Amino acid sequence: MAGLLKKTTGLVGLAVCESPHKRLRILYTKILHVVQQMPKSAAYRKYTEQITNEKLSMVKVESDVKKLEDQLQGGQIEEVILQAENELSWQEK
């Protein structure tokens, strides 16, 4: 895994994540667990599983944070983490 690339995100209130791969693996695994509780026929489940599995695969394969950011196309890795946290939070309600 590539080392820490930056000291700040440049975004107010969003700190640099020191272990983004680990954090994303945990979040994506939790998201998958929650959607698997939904009916298999639910469109939300189908698409969320597909997208989350694709992202999880990228996290597992790409060790360079900058390259991973480019592949995920969600901004800085911390923004991707925030998006995953929000998705999980929404699902758990």
- Residue 1's pLDDT is what? 43
Establish if 15 belongs to a structural domain.
Answer: no
Name the least confident of 12-16, 48-52, 58-62, 67-71: 12-16
**Domain ranges, residue 63:** 20-91
Flag whether 45 is in a domain: yes
In a domain, 64, yes or no: yes
Furthest CA-CA distance within the chain: 44
Tokens of 75: 């901004």
Instruction: Assess if residue 30 is contained within a domain.
Output: yes
- What's this model's pTM, rounded to 2 decimal places? 0.89
Asked if the structure places residue 85 within a domain, the reply is yes
Q: Tell whether 3 is covered by a domain.
A: no
Closest Cα partner for 47 from 37, 32, 62?
32
